Structure formats: C-alpha cells, structure tokens
Amino acid sequence: MKIPGFSRHPRELSGAVPAASARVNEEQWVEAARLVREHGHRIVALWGADNRDRDATFSVFAAYAVEHGLVVIELPLPGTRPAYPDLSGLFPAANRMQRALFDLLGIVAEGAEDHRPWLRHGAWSEGEFPLRRDFSGAAGVNEQERYSFVRVEGEGVHEIPVGPIHAGIIEPGHFRFSIVGEKVLRLEERLGFTHKGIDKRFEDFTIAEGHRLAGRVSGDSTVAFAWAYAQAAEALLAVVPPPRARWLRALMLERERVANHLGDLGALGNDAALAFALSQFMRLKEDWLRLNDRVFGHRFMMDRIVPGGVEASMDASQAEAMARQAHEVEGEVQTLRNVFDDHAGLQDRFITTGRVTSELARRLGLAGLAGRASAQPYDLRVDFPCEPYGELDVKKVVYKSGDVAARVNARFDELIESLRLTRAILLKAPEGEAQVELPPARPGAFGVGWIEGWRGEVFVALEAGEGNRIRRGHAHDPSWQGWPLIEHAVIGNIVPDFPLINKSFNLSYSGPDS
Amino acid sequence: MIPLLLKIVRTGIVSESPPEANDELRVNASEIEAEVLKLLGRALVIREVDAGSCNGCELEIHALNNPYYNLEGLGIRFAASPRHADMLLVTGPVSKNMERALRIAYEAMPEPKLVVAIGDCGCTGGIFGESYASCGQVSNVIPVDVAVPGCPPRPIEILRGILTAVASRSS
C-alpha cells in the first residue's frame, strides 16, 4: 500500500483490510494529503489521541482511501502546543471532523478557516477536552451556546429554523434555511445533539466487548459497525475468524442492507404522498425483521458479530426460510418498482430534485450509496473485497444523475442485488466453527476495520491498552461525508422538497455525533 | 393504477391484535388519575422525542405504523408538536446536548402529561450510562410514568408500554 510519489513507505498493517500506516512529520503530513488529493482519492476519517502519558505527545490520524486500500497517516504533536496543518483546504469533508476533534481533544487545525465548535454545545466548558486523559469531567454551563450561522441578506430573504426536535420520528439536529419565497437559497446544518461521548466510553471496555458499543454508534447500521470493529480487533490480536463466521457476517450485512433499503423506499414514496408505498414496504420490512428475530434472536442482529467470529447459528431449515423469503421479496419488490416507475406524479417529484453533480460529489469526497448515485464508483465489497465478497462477484450499482430518482433507483438495484447475494451466501456458506478464542492483546497494538454498510463506508480504528482494555477507539460513520452534500443538494429546490431530499440520503445523526 | 390496486387487494389486511397492558412497566404509580385516563380512552396523541438514542429505538417506533401493528387503527397517532400531544415517547440516554430541548418539549405539553421512556438507555442510561455527554436515563431529566426495557424493545413491547400508560389500572 502506498501513496504514489510519497517520500515515505507506509508499513503494512495486518488484518482483513488492505491497509498500511506511517508516522510522519508535519511536512510529510501535508505532502501525503496533497498527493492523495492530486490522485483524486479521498479522506475516510480523521481522529486523534492523547499519548502524553506515554511519550508526552498528542497524535492526529488521517485515514485515506487510495488505489489499493487504506493508508493511515499519524502525525505526533508536542504535548505543550498541539497543532497540525489544516486538511479542510484540500478535503472539505475534513472541516467538521477537525472541529469535532478540537472540541474533544483540544488539538488545533492550523490554517483552517472555520473554528466554530461542532460537538461542544456547552455541556462542557471551553478549555476542557473530554478525550484528554486528565479531563476532570466537570460539567459546563449546559446552555446552548450561540452559534454563528452564516446570514443571507437581501430583499425578501428570511430564515426558517428547524429542530433540534423535528416534526416526525426522526433523530435530532438543527437546520437553518435561508429562503426567498419557497426557494431555498442556503441551508446550514448544526448537528452534534446526540453526542454521547462514545470515543471516551470505549476506554471503559475491553477489546473483546467493545463490539457492543460499536454496534450502537448508529443502530440502523449495527451489523456494519460491529463487523468493522471485529476486523479492527482481530487485526490487533492477529486472529482470523473461521470461514463460517465470515460468511454469516456477510449474510447479516446484506440482510441489514435489504431491511434499510425496504424502509427507505417506503418512506421515499410516502414523502412524495404515495402512502401505499409506505404500507407495502414496511410490511415487507416487518416480515424481514421477524425472520431475523427467529434465526438470530434479534430483529437488527445486534451483538451477533463479535471479535473472533459470530454468536449466531443457522440450521438448514432456517437457511431455507431465508432463501425462500429472499425469493418472495424479490417478486414483490419488482411489482412495487413497476408501480413506482409508472407513477407520473411520483417520478415528477423524484427526477431532478436534490441534485448532486458528480463533480461536486468528487470534490466533497462522497462515497457510499449516495456517492454511487452521483457517479462515484466506490464499493468496498467490489474494490477491496474481504472474504467472502471475493467469491460473490458483487455487481456495483452506479448512476450519474445524482438526483432523488438516482438514489431511489440505486436502492432498488442494490436491494435486488443483495437479495441475490443472500441466496448465494446461503448456498455456499461452509459448515464449521463460528468463533475462535481470543489471545490477550499486546498493549499498543493497532488495527483498523473498513466495511461497506448500506449507507456507505464504516471505519473503525482501535488501539489496545493494558489488561486487554481499549486505549483508544474511534468509529467513523459515512454520514460525516454525506451531510455537507445535503446543504448543496437543496439549493434552488423548494422547502417542501427538503424532507424528500433528506430522506433520499437518509443519513445518521447518532453516527457522526457519536 | 391497476397494478397498484391489485397489489392492495392481494395483500389484504395483515393487522394483528394489540397486546395487553402490563402493570409491571409502571414507574410512577400515582401520577395519572383513572378518570383522566377514562377521558382520554385510546384517542391518544404522541410526540416522539429522540433525546440522544442510537436510532435503533426509532426504527421500532416507526414499525408501529406498519400494517401489522396498525397504531392508527387503535386511535393512536403521532403529532408534530408537543402542544398537541398527550404523551411524550422518549428514547435515548438523554444527551447533555438534548437535555434542554427535552425539557422544553415536556413543558410545552398540556396537562395531564404522560411520559413513556423507551429502551434500555431510556430506562437506565443503557450502554452509554452517565458521562460528560450523557444525563443517562430519561427520568433524570423529566418525570416518567412507564419505562419499556429492551435494546431496542420489539414494537409489540413498545405498544404494550403505550397501552399500559393509558389503561385504567385494574386495581
């Protein structure tokens, strides 16, 4: 794994993810970012750690997706004056990650334009940093601090503030619309309301138990997060999960994808006033979740993927029930897709609405489902297949138009493909052990996990501490990269189309707030 | 239009009967008078507030609107404003960043106010507990009548919790 032209040769990391890492100096930090950008690659995650107890330094980490996998760049920073060169000039997606990193760890992105707080809303005091090892835990003022939104001015321009509590059964966040008439001139998001201190909480868990916390970063992607966590844990423990476990993990990941796509397609129809779609798709989703419950003992398959394997069994009759269900759902989805396609009113709402051009998506580093709907051809299951995906020949779904219609069509295609994948997995999954014993963790050992969840790329970085504990855990939700795109996608659309546009991305709040 | 109608006819009615109330889910034994509950009957309006959950509980609350549980068929519906609501259905641990918004929503409700806390996090703080970022359980912030454990609780259990809160006590 290397960055072409980079003066350093990153060291290969063990584990299921093709990844390498390098400890660099400030100059090389900038050089690596510039080269990644020049080659058209993207930033996956940004995080930091307080290592002053070990070597009097902080560290900032950036994970980049490059041609052959993942490169993790670590820049150690002096404990007395922790600052690193800004990345948001090269990668706009880094803006909020850098602000969150400052709020949690107090290390500064030097040269960045935007230094407004992101996760700190006043629950802890300015100058206190929860991820520092000497954090006192002192409560802040806990009053929503004034946040300086960008003001749009001009004749007839006014603002609509929405949230944090939204009108429906939705996660909390604040949207500030500047509009003229019904037309949206600008949207600014203010998130962080569901920040639960997950990175800090990881320190209370052992490596063997942290999957439970990772699986609750964003509940709708629990399988993807638990798998990414398991990959990271297995990499640092140098264990390989048995073949049957890997196949069952893929079965669960695809069943998670199907469940979410079913729900989203129903909600998208509903947001364009086709209540029929919601009833039909939610019925299919309920059937789907009930079978999850029967086979895996949990409707969302939480805590079934564990470091070292899976805590799940599946007998022949259950496998047959899942294969039969996939077949039946495929028939129903085809019927419903025809209804969608023939519905002029629905298509009128979908087509050209909330458009994200491929150029914009590329510039802002969008990947995942929404990225593929804007011609960003990234799918980890195809690009860097971990077992069993190499044997499944996953079809990559790419659309170019980048509108709500493209994100609807991408969901239909991926749904059908995932139904095929689950049947293929059920046919080929080998028998045998589903879990291996975990050896003790070597303090300082580091591992990463990287999984294509239904929404996009889920990333986990993990470092072991003393006594098998987690020294530093970081889980990255793909919604970090998605949210800024919604601000662009709504420009020029009418306010009533915002729920539809928002739903077509269906991003997580809890995931990036974590 | 014809395929759409055919699909509706062929699907038929899949709704199932609602669960019985369960007095064990009650947290607060004396808050709501029986007469008030009689008045409300089952014509109940709910305001759902995610006060910091992982969104797992929201998925299951959403499921209550699917045809199997057919919540609206029981006379229960979700409202956009707490001013129109009889019940606050709260998930989460309550994040510090949502504490104030939750209090405002609670205060905006007309009396009598029913509060149902959903999920292990809503009941006890769950896996996130209390920390610099989390107030823990819902009852640390507002009074709770009924608490429904589970991570997340199945839709049928959430429905049982809602019905428990509005059922006149048998005693």
Q: Phi and psi at residue B144, in whole multiples of 5°? A: -120, 135
CA distance A457 to A69: 13
Burial, B20: exposed, middle or buried (Cβ in 10 Å; 0-12, 13-18, 19+)? exposed
CA atoms within 13 A of residue B8's CA, in its CB half-sphere: 11
Q: Is there a contact between B131 and A200 if contact means CB atoms under 8 Å apart?
A: yes
Mean pLDDT of all residues in A438-455: 97
Radius of gyration, alpha carbons of chain A: 22
Residue type present at position A265: L
A contacts of B129 (beta carbons < 8 Å): 201
CA nearest to B105 within chain A: A165
Query: Taken in order A121, A125, A126, A129, is the CA torsion positive or negative?
Result: negative
Q: CA of B67 to nearest chain A CA: how many angstroms apart?
A: 6
A-B C-beta contacts closer than 8 Å: 160
Between B170 and A479, whose confidence is greater?
Answer: A479
Three-state SS for A313? coil
Q: Is there a contact between A171 and B105 if contact means CB atoms under 8 Å apart?
A: no
C-alpha pair distances (Å), A343 with each of A340, B5, B167: 5, 13, 43
C-alpha pair distances (Å), A11 with each of A7, A24, A70, A226, A268: 13, 12, 11, 26, 45
CB contact residues (below 8 A), chain B span 46-85, against chain A: 48-63, 65-68, 78, 80
CA distance A257 to A277: 18
Q: Phi and psi at residue B29, in whole multiples of 5°? A: -80, -20
The pLDDT tens digits for A176-198 are: 999 999 999 999 999 999 999 99
- Tell me whether B3 touches chain A (CB under 8 Å): yes
Domains of chain A: 1-146 (3.30.460.80), 198-513 (1.10.645.10)
Q: Is there a contact between B55 and A219 if contact means CB atoms under 8 Å apart?
A: yes
Q: Is there a contact between A218 and B58 if contact means CB atoms under 8 Å apart?
A: no
Domains of chain B: 28-166 (3.40.50.12280)
CA distance A32 to A29: 5
The pLDDT tens digits for A383-394 are: 999 999 999 999
A contacts of B61 (beta carbons < 8 Å): 169
CA distance B138 to B131: 14
In chain B, how many H helices and how many E strands? 6, 5
C-alpha pair distances (Å), A350 with each of A270, A377, A503: 12, 22, 12
Rounded to two decimals, the pTM is 0.96
Q: Which two tokens stand for residue B125?
A: 């703080």
Residue A258 has pLDDT above 90, yes or no: yes
- Selecting from A143, A286, A339 the residue whose C-beta is nearest the C-beta of B4 gives A339
CA distance A267 to A493: 20
Residue B28 has pLDDT above 80, yes or no: no
Mean pLDDT of all residues in B133-156: 96
A contacts of B73 (beta carbons < 8 Å): none
Q: Phi and psi at residue A379, in whole multiples of 5°? A: -150, 110
Are B160 and B22 contacting, i.e. CB atoms less than 8 angstroms apart? yes
CA distance A35 to A30: 9
- Tell me whether B106 touches chain A (CB under 8 Å): no
Q: CA of A137 to nearest chain B CA: how many angstroms apart?
A: 6
DSSP bridge pairs for A476: A459
pLDDT of residue B171: 35
Q: Is there a contact between B101 and A196 if contact means CB atoms under 8 Å apart?
A: no
The pLDDT tens digits for B62-76 are: 999 999 999 888 889
C-alpha pair distances (Å), A130 with each of A62, A97, A107: 20, 16, 12
